[in-house]
A = this chain, B = another copy of it.
Amino acid sequence: MNPLTSPLLTDLYQLNMLQAYLEDGKTDVAVFEIFVRKLPPRRSFLMAAGLEQALQFLENLRFSPEEVDWLAGTRRFDKSLLDRLSDFRFTGDVHAMPEGRIFFANEPILRITAPMPQAQLVETRLINLLHFQTLIASKAARIVLAAPSKLLVDFGLRRAHGAEAGLLAARASYIAGFAGTATMLAEHEFGIPICGTMAHSFVEAFDSESAAFESFARSRPQNLTLLIDTYDSEAAARKVVVLAPCLSAMGVKIGAVRLDSGDLIPLARSVRRILDDGGLSHVTIFASGGLDEDSVAEIVHAGAPIDGFGVGTSLTTSSDTPALDCAYKLQEYAGRPRRKRSSGKATWPGRKQVWRSYATSDGRMAGDLLSIDSASHPGEQLIEPIMKDGRRIGPAPTLSEIRARAASELGRLPQPLRELEPGMTYPVQIAEALVTLAAEVDNHLAQSERVQP
């Protein structure tokens, strides 16, 4: 069973509930929405990502004979459930914010409308897919805002949480504005530009640093980047200057040097001076090594001569906030709105829509209104129909289109939200209609339970 596609990559309770729903005839239409309850401390906005993988999951959802047999063998489930799994498909509707959209707390980014057993079963993997890419795109957007006009590359596969995380982090960061990734498979899977330099081990395998540089240059004459911090970065920069004419004679033009340690601001200045004095002003400086949006912003602010950054661990683990407080909640069942009232986790009921207004002065986002889907309000509707009866309504946007949308969204952020320390809370208003609906749901529940609230 392939964990990336198996419907058994889910919580046991989903199958338990599936059986109970089927036995009880609870197969009416259910509406679930995914949203983030609260923005993390240092996030003033989030960027939606992962919808494409979520849709692929829904389109391809099926139980293989092997999976049904294995479930039967666990003796946990009745024949009434097992018999229905072979034909189990997702036949519902999906409404969602397109990838690259900026959104805020309580705003649904995806709505599932489907018979209850289907809508319930998909919960775990839908969250798993949407949460992660949204998390990474939102982190990457901060780095992009901190380093405008710098070349940003994802270096994070090795410390990403497993294979899928590494691959999807490359996608999510590319959407948010990174120029590319070091992860080869991301080119194959998504067509993302990849780039790569050399490791310290390569330099160490040679008797001298110069010999390593020359060997690498012979083998990789295109886009040559030399890693210069294995022993002493300034000494290595001087070796690069000495080597350059010989390499030039071989037809190799050095593209960049990479610094991966040390105090990057003074070091980059010193290396820049050495390169410039040696006639290598065309050679760019690329930095990596434990960078995040704060250190990148500091370097940019100091005006250090660094042209690009490889960002790894902090990006692919969203290290300061490795998870979002997101949920997939039942909003309606059998035509009646529902809500949870758990302490501190109450939700707004019903099918919802977000209307966004823009300032007439500069076209930037001015405020959102969260209301019931059937209401009518001025502004741009952020949630769009994506899938009908289990099939996509239109063709999937290309990654370039998604990336362009993300760039446009970042361009329309109010200035205080573009800072690393949130300077304001973006206004999201709850419409009166939604407040009224919540009260109605509570009243109905109190009557059903014959308990006075």
Contacts and interface: CB of A to CB of B under 8 A. Distances in A.
A127 interface: yes
A127 B161 CA distance: 10
Given A12-B194, A182-B12, A189-B3, A449 B317 contact: no
Contacts of A322: 161, 317-319, 322
Interface stretch (A13-21, A98-106, A301-309, A360-368): A13-21
A215 interface: yes
Task: Give the bracket for the number of chain A residues in contact with chain B.
Answer: 35 or more
Interface stretch (A82-90, A203-211, A273-281, A389-397): A203-211
A426 interface: no
Interface stretch (A242-250, A341-349, A427-435): A341-349
Contacts of A201: 17, 30, 32, 120, 123, 329-330, 338
A402 to B, nearest CB: 19
A162 B128 contact: yes
A9 B341 contact: no
A436 interface: no
A20 B116 CA distance: 57
Given A20-B216, A205-B330, A262-B344, A10 B184 contact: yes
B70 A188 contact: yes
A260 interface: yes
A256 interface: no
B124 A231 contact: no
Contacts of A377: none
Contacts of A14: 196, 199
A445 B206 CA distance: 10
B13 A196 contact: yes
Contacts of A24: 215, 218-219
Interface string A25-61: 0100010100000000000000000000000000000
Interface of A: 1-4, 6, 8-17, 19-21, 23-24, 26, 30, 32, 70, 74, 116, 120, 123-125, 127-129, 131-132, 135, 155, 157-168, 182-185, 187-189, 194-202, 204-209, 215-216, 218-220, 229-233, 235, 260-263, 289, 313, 317-319, 322-324, 326, 329-330, 333-334, 338-345, 445, 448-449, 451
